[in-house]
Every structure is written in C-alpha cells, then in structure tokens.
Amino acid sequence: MKKPIKDVVVFVMSVPGGAAEQLRKYETEIGYPLRILLLLDSKVRSSEKKIESAHADLIVTCDFTKPIKIAEALLPYQDNLLAITCRSEQHMARFAEVLPHVPYLRTPTTQSLVWASDKYEMRKRFRAYDKAITPKFTLVDRNSKEERERVIKKIGFPMIIKPTNMAGSLFVSICYHEEDLDKTLRLILRKIKQAYKKDNRKEDPKIIAEEYMDGDLYSIDSYVDSRGKVYHCPLVKQTTAKKIGRDDFYNYLQMTPTGLKPTTVAKAELVAEKAIHALGLRSSIAHTELMKLDDEWKVVELGARMGGFRHTLHALSCDINHTLNDILIRIPKKPVIPKKCKGFSCAMKWYLPKEGIISEMKGIKRIEQLDSFHSITLNKKVGDRFVFARNGGRSVFNLFLYHADRSKLLADIRRVEKMVEVKVRARNTAKKI
C-alpha cells in the first residue's frame, strides 16, 4: 500500500501572506507541492475573512465549541498532515482546542498553551520553577476599597495593571498611588469585556497586578523542539513609551541585533529557556520579554508565538526565515539560524502624546526617501480618532528601517522623529502635537 504524502500544513484561524510565500519556496527544497489548510471557527464573524482565506489552498470551517465537529472536519486530511500552527495571539485558546484532534503531529500540549496565554497562570508556573525569574504578582478580582488595599499590601507602588490575555500593550498601565489604581481599574473594567469580544477571545477577562520593574526591556524569539532543545534568535532591544516620556506602555522602538556582550546575552538566553521549560512548551516558537535590571534578568511574559514584527526584523538584519522556522520546528526539522548578522533593523510604532481626531499628517511620505527605509503601514488617516494604547488604541503607523551601519540607522530614526508632524483636534480646536 502506497504511503500517504505528508503535504498538508494547517493554520488555525489565519494564514499570514508571508507564511504562504515561504512555504511555496520551501516546496522547491522538498521536491513536492504543499497544501495550506486554513481551519476556521464558524462561530467567529470576521470582517477579514477574504484576507484570512486568500493564501489557503483548503478552507475548512467548523464549530470549535463542539470537539466532535473539529474531529470530523480534520478527518479527511489526517493521513496527510505535516504540521499545524497558529500565528495569532488572540486565537491561542482555539489552537489549544484543536490539538487533541491531531494526535500524531508534534505540537505543544494543550495545557502549555493555556499557561502561555494567561499571564496569571504563567507567573504561577514561573514562581514554581524559579522564583528568581519573576516579579511579585496577584490577580485583581474587582475594584473595591478592600481589594485595592489587598493588592497594594501585596505588590506595593509603583505597580503594573494589565489584562491577563491581551497582547500589544493594550490596557497596560502603571499606578503610583491608590487614586491611580482606582482610576485604572475603573477604565479597564468598563472596557475589557468589549475588547475581548472585539478580538474574538474565548477566555474570560481577568486583570493582574504585578511589581513594576524599572530596567531595560529586551525580548527574544526562540524555537523549542519536541525534546525541549531551544534555539535562539538574536535579542531585540525594546524602547517603551515610558522611556521616551510618554504616559503609556507600547513598544515605541524595537531594534536588533543589540550591542550586549556575549556573556550578557547568554544570561538572557538562560532565563528565557527557564521560562520556556517552566511552561512545558515543546514543538513551538516562543516569544519571551525580559527586563534587564543591572546584571539580573527577569521574565516580563512569554507567548507561544512569534513576537510582533519579528519575521521582518530578523529577515532584514540576519537573513533568518522566521516564518519557515516556525513550521520546521513542528515537522520536525532543525531551524536555520545564520551565525552572523549583516546589519541592523528596527520597527517603530508611532503613537501620539494626546488623544483626539487626527486633522493633519505631514512628513510621512518623506520617510520613504531615507537610505534605511524598508516599508511603512498606515493605520490611521485624517479624520480618524487616535486613542492611547493603554485605552485600547492602535498606532498611527508602523515603520521598518534597515541599514548595514548602526550609526546611520540611528541617524535616520532621529530624522523620522523630526520630520513627522501630526495634529489632532479636540473640542473643535486643532492642536499641533
């Protein structure tokens, strides 16, 4: 009897365009065509269905709330399955629901994805594995005088307040006193249910308070195989809004590779591996955010996904095919990571210091003339409302720059900061910001 060809790669809930492109290139290496199967939850209504489906060869829809329906949907392809992945943070809970129905693929465990998707459960696992890698934390049940006093006694000020299941720095706030805490909790509790609903999240909204760490923020993407061996990409230095004087917590600038000493990088990689093993992740990619406090490293959080913008950043600076490596580690094959980088890349998320209606945008076209320009994505236009990340808002634009010379890249970053000019209108008044 002829052995079935393992040619189906399953994506849960979305197929990024770059992923499809890289798999097509990989076909020439393996010598036969692959089929991309997109598995969608029929209960999720999406305005982006055409985008999600554009890069798939097969589209299968079923009701994820009924396990038997998932099993029936995948049954015709079981003998042909090569790998399965999910690239969306907001759909990790759905990915976890699918895994029991692909028992012969190398995948993370369902429980490890739950731990990696919930910051409270994650911190409990870190604390059990190694208390030294995690700050103090506690779950916040409600906004009452008694609950605030309990949280303050346990964590102290300043503290960070954030949802346990959201990415992108949404609703992340720092509190310095009880009035701050009261105001922040009232805001998040008023908006969090709608935000989870908008992201089609299956988890129940929860809020965590944790010790504020005042250090330098870095992150690292890693690949972990089915036996727990970890392969690391270069560290990324992250400059938060707080570091540039904004009252917000989005990542303003991400730059790689860093100028850290090899011994310092090795310490960061060790802490990242501890976090990965604490959650029991396997056959997965992992994105670990780390805080450097003098010579000590703490884990901010870990996700069973690639970090934001990482495929582009690592491809530009080090020729790492992050998207393909995400599939290779699940086949399983060893990920390909070049030993040397050829240059420096950065991603910039442009937010504003004030909320309001955007009335004018200048200088953005001029960015394309810079030597280091790679690409830009506009998320806002004149007439759109701008809202801070801590209030659930998105950036005005996302920008990628690359240069072989680090000093010239830094110079172009400064040029962008000088040339971009945006105005917002608040209460019928145009204000330059």
Walk along the chain (433 residues) and give the pLDDT tens digit of each residue: 678 899 999 999 999 878 889 999 999 999 999 999 999 999 887 645 555 567 899 999 999 999 999 999 999 999 999 999 998 888 898 999 999 999 999 999 999 999 998 899 999 999 999 999 999 999 998 999 999 999 999 999 999 998 887 665 567 888 999 999 999 999 888 887 787 777 667 677 889 999 999 899 999 999 999 999 999 999 999 998 888 888 887 899 999 999 899 999 999 999 999 999 999 999 999 999 999 998 899 999 999 999 989 999 999 999 999 999 999 999 999 999 999 999 999 999 999 999 999 999 999 999 999 999 999 999 999 999 999 988 878 899 999 999 999 999 999 999 999 999 999 986 555 444 4
Amino acid at 65: T
Q: According to the model, what pLDDT value does residue 1 have?
A: 66
Query: Which residue bears the tokens 């909790």?
Result: 185
List Cβ neighbours of 17 (8 Å cut-off, separation of 6 or more).
54, 55
Contact predicate 38/53, CB 8 Å: yes
* Three-point CA angle 23, 328, 399, nearest 5°: 65
| 247 contacts 180 by C-beta, under 8 angstroms | no
Of 66, 59, 102, the closest CA to residue 84 belongs to: 102
| AA identity, residue 418 | K
Q: How far apart, in whole angstroms, are the C-alpha atoms of residue 144 and residue 161?
A: 15
- The predicted pLDDT at position 247 comes to 80
Q: Determine whether 7 is exposed, middle or buried from the number of CB atoms within 10 Å of its CB (0-12, 13-18, 19+).
A: middle
Name 342's Cβ contacts closer than 8 Å, sequence gap at least 6: 317, 318, 319, 404
Residue 139's CB is within 10 A of a number of other CB atoms, namely 15
CA dist 259 and 25 (Å) reads 33
Orientation angle between helical segments 119-129 and 262-278, nearest 10 degrees = 110
Q: Residue 254, exposed/middle/buried by CB under 10 A (0-12, 13-18, 19+)?
A: buried
Among 52, 38, 45, smallest CA distance to 95 is for 38
Q: How is residue 215 written in tokens?
A: 């250090």
Residue 296, Cα to own-chain centre: how many angstroms? 24
Cα–Cα distance for residue pair 295/293, rounded to 1 Å: 6
C-alpha span between 223 and 336 (Å, rounded) = 10
Map residue 224 onto helix, strand or coil.
strand
DSSP-derived secondary structure letter, 370? S
Contact 350, 396 (CB under 8 A): yes
Measured at the CA of 348, the angle between CA 346 and CA 353, to 5 degrees, comes to 150
- To 10 degrees, the CA torsion angle through 137, 143, 145, 151? 0
- Shortest CA distance to 139 belongs to which of 128, 131, 129, 147? 147
pLDDT for 400 equals: 98
Angle at 168 (CA atoms; ends 164, 170), nearest 5 degrees: 60
**What is the Cα–Cα distance from 421 to 200, expressed in whole angstroms?**
34
Q: Could you tell me how many residues make up the chain?
A: 433
Beta strand segments in 225-309, E: 230-232, 236-240, 251-256, 284-293, 296-303
Number of Cβ atoms within 10 Å of the Cβ of 306: 24
Strand partners, 174: 160
Q: Rounded to whole angstroms, how far apart are CA atoms 181 and 105?
A: 45
Cα 219 to its chain centre, rounded Å, is 10
Query: Distance (Å, rounded) from C-alpha 314 to C-alpha 375?
Result: 15
DSSP tag of 235:
P
349 closest CA partner among 196, 187, 169: 169
Q: How far apart are CA 376 and CA 282, in angstroms?
A: 34
